[in-house]
């Protein structure tokens, strides 16, 4: 892939209209090039433009990149913006678990379960709690 050309096209798109998609694309390209500091700045700008699902996606993308602390920041922002959505607490729990903060992770998984989440979110929270040694009834 020609990263320089791809970044040029992303910049042109950003100059026309800054959106979540074009800023996140540029940040991803910079991460691929190893330009982590610049990518993180752009990801912060992307987060401001992101809807709930996009912000969650950013968090998981960062988890995959080994950037758990940064991911937790995005998951926390999503909880702040969407406190009524159980999945936001489940995702924050996963981020906290990745940082090693199991006490807070357990709290978030339990919060998610207390909100009567959709089946897939419920299963994920229960699975994570069990893996963390917490007794949970299905």
pLDDT for 126-136, tens place per residue? Answer: 999 999 999 98
Model's pTM, two decimal places? 0.90
pLDDT at position 29 is 93
Query: Do 28 and 76 belong to one domain?
Result: no
Query: Do 79 and 116 belong to one domain?
Result: yes
Query: Do 73 and 43 belong to one domain?
Result: no
Asked, for residue 61, whether it belongs to a domain, the answer is: no
Convert the pLDDT of each residue in 46-94 to its tens digit. 999 999 999 999 999 999 989 999 999 999 999 999 999 999 999 999 9
Kindly state the percentage of the chain with pLDDT values over 70. Answer: 99
Read off the CATH number of the domain in which 102 is found: 1.25.40
Helix ranges (DSSP H) in the chain: 3-16, 20-33, 36-49, 52-64, 68-81, 86-99, 102-114, 119-131
Asked, for residue 38, whether it belongs to a domain, the answer is: yes
Q: Rounded to whole angstroms, how far apart are CA atoms 8 and 99?
A: 34
Q: Rounded to whole angstroms, how far apart are CA atoms 109 and 127?
A: 10
Average pLDDT, the chain: 95
Asked, for residue 73, whether it belongs to a domain, the answer is: yes
Q: Which long-range contacts (CB under 8 A, 24 or more apart) does 118-123 make?
A: 118/86, 118/87, 121/86, 121/87, 121/90
What average pLDDT does the segment 94-114 reach?
A: 98
Name the token pair of 73: 């920041």
The structural domain count of the chain equals 2
Residue-range definition of the domain harbouring residue 12: 1-49
């Amino acid at each position: 892939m020609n990263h320089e050309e791809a970044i040029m096209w992303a910049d042109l798109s950003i100059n026309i209209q800054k959106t979540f998609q074009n800023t996140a694309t540029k940040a991803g390209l910079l991460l691929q090039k190893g330009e982590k500091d610049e990518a993180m700045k752009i990801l912060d700008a992307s987060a401001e433009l992101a809807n709930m699902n996009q912000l969650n996606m950013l968090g998981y993308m960062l988890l995959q990149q080994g950037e758990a602390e940064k991911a937790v920041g995005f998951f926390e922002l999503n909880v702040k913006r969407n406190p009524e959505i159980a999945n936001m607490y489940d995702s924050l729990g996963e981020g906290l678990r990745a940082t090693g903060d199991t006490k807070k992770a357990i709290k978030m998984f339990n919060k998610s379960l207390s909100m009567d989440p959709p089946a897939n979110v419920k299963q994920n929270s229960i699975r994570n709690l069990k893996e963390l040694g917490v007794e949970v009834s299905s």
